[in-house]
Homo-oligomer: A and B are copies of this chain.
Amino acid sequence: MSTETPEQVKQMEICLQLERQNFHLNAHFHAPMKGVTALFGPSGSGKTTLLRCIAGLEKQTRGHLKIGADYWQDDSLCLPPHRRPVGYVFQKSNLFQHLTVLQNLRYGQKRTAKTQRKIYLNETIALLELENILKCHPDQLSGGQQQRVAIARALLTTPQLLLMDEPLASLDQASKLDIIPYLERLHQELSIPVIYVSHSPDEVTRLADHLVLMDQGSVTAEGEINHILTRNDLPLAHLEEACAVISGKVVKHDSHYHLTYLSIPGGTVAVSYRGFPISDTVRVRILARDVSLALSPGENSSITNVLAVTVISIQTMADPAKSLITLQLGSEQILASITRRSVHKLAISVGTALYAHIKSIALMH
């Protein structure tokens, strides 16, 4: 028996290959066994295919796959899909047409040992607002309703690994905002790792701890989320939604203004109140477009969060009017996107010390 370091047990090792007529999947990466690993890549880059290989749905898959301490696939072994404790939310909902919504939900739950069930029917139904449609058949549901049923159905098996293929794509903003915190809670409280495919940078940065970028069947970059988000040689930093995700510690609550103060590397910031205990570690997202730069800390402005930063690099963006500035903030890096005119006007160059005025900081978890 091989002795495994706890480090290894806390990882999933994915090294899978699949040959298709016009497509070659070759995915090789490690991801932590907690939190959300987001797969990000253009249409047709193989994200769905990779999830299918992990779930065991592609018989031709080669390679090996180790989830935590368990081998799911290697040279000699290949668990069939029903023995892999995954919950799979498909890109197309794939609901059972011959069953009602409730029967769909119960399908996987019944097949999970009672002792292993940690996600409960009523709670899930309430959260995903399925009360009124429990007796409907899938062909009587709207697109978003179908997607919510599919999410609930996958969750009710209390999976040890959740595979989600654009689960929120056809949901309205309000539903998304309900479901995302629930998913966050799930992978925190039940420590169910999630592999999450999404085209929405917003969803990804909200949810993900680890990012895997794919292109044409291969992994082009992967790593801790802020590292990948702020690397200006990667496409994410050049999106309109470019952002940084950094950790902070809760230091104070202000119940009057409903604010929570966080200490982050490089200063203290205020965010909308969330009931985390003092000195909890949390993560905040800072969108590049929310960061403006100034030579002075400024006063008399509605901007609450002002932090001292140093310029690390300046890059032009896809939009030639804009520059992407990578800033050192304490031990972390954040991004700012400002006009080139402002870069000139403020004479910003590498090494310049500036004040970042951050219009809005989103607290995540």
Q: How far is the CB of A189 from chain B (nearest CB, A)?
A: 23
Which residues of B lie under 8 Å from residue A44 when comparing CB positions?
A: 133, 141-142, 144-145
Per the bound structure, the CA–CA distance linking A345 and B261 in Å amounts to: 17
Per-residue B-contact encoding for A248-270, CB less than 8 Å = 1, 0 else: 00000010011100000000001
Contact for A270 among B175, B293, B336, B339, CB less than 8 A: B339
- Decide: A339 and B304 in contact? CB cutoff 8 A: yes
Per-residue B-contact encoding for A289-331, CB less than 8 Å = 1, 0 else: 1101111101011111000000000000001111000000000
Q: How far is the CB of A334 from chain B (nearest CB, A)?
A: 14
Per the bound structure, the CA–CA distance linking A254 and B341 in Å amounts to: 10
A residues 149-186 touching B (CB-CB < 8 Å): 165-166, 169-175
A residues 335-352 touching B (CB-CB < 8 Å): 336-346, 348
Which residues of B lie under 8 Å from residue A200 when comparing CB positions?
A: 173
Contact for A321 among B21, B174, B257, B321, CB less than 8 A: B257
A48 in the interface, Cβ–Cβ < 8 Å? Answer: yes
- Decide: B199 and A172 in contact? CB cutoff 8 A: yes
What number of copies of this chain does the assembly contain? Answer: 2
Which residues of B lie under 8 Å from residue A220 when comparing CB positions?
A: none
Query: Given that A170-B169, A321-B272 are contacting pairs, would A301 and B293 also be in contact in the complex, using a CB cutoff of 8 Å?
Result: yes
Contact for A172 among B42, B171, B336, CB less than 8 A: B42
Which residues of B lie under 8 Å from residue A365 when comparing CB positions?
A: none
A190 in the interface, Cβ–Cβ < 8 Å? Answer: no
Contact for A342 among B171, B302, B341, CB less than 8 A: B302
A148 in the interface, Cβ–Cβ < 8 Å? Answer: yes
Q: How far is the CB of A157 from chain B (nearest CB, A)?
A: 23
Per-residue B-contact encoding for A227-244, CB less than 8 Å = 1, 0 else: 000000001000111000
- Decide: A294 and B289 in contact? CB cutoff 8 A: no
Per-residue B-contact encoding for A51-88, CB less than 8 Å = 1, 0 else: 00000000000000000000000000000000000000
Which residues of B lie under 8 Å from residue A169 when comparing CB positions?
A: 166, 169-170
Per the bound structure, the CA–CA distance linking A343 and B144 in Å amounts to: 38
- Decide: A272 and B319 in contact? CB cutoff 8 A: yes
- Decide: B199 and A344 in contact? CB cutoff 8 A: no
A residues 113-153 touching B (CB-CB < 8 Å): 132-133, 136, 140-145, 148
Per-residue B-contact encoding for A275-301, CB less than 8 Å = 1, 0 else: 000000000000001101111101011
What are 7 contact pairs spanning A and B, CB under 8 A? Answer: A43-B142, A257-B344, A259-B341, A289-B290, A292-B302, A295-B300, A304-B339
Q: A294-B298, A298-B298, A302-B336 are in contact. List 13 more A-B contacts (CB 8 A).
A: A43-B143, A44-B133, A172-B199, A257-B339, A257-B341, A259-B339, A259-B341, A270-B339, A270-B341, A272-B319, A289-B359, A289-B360, A304-B341
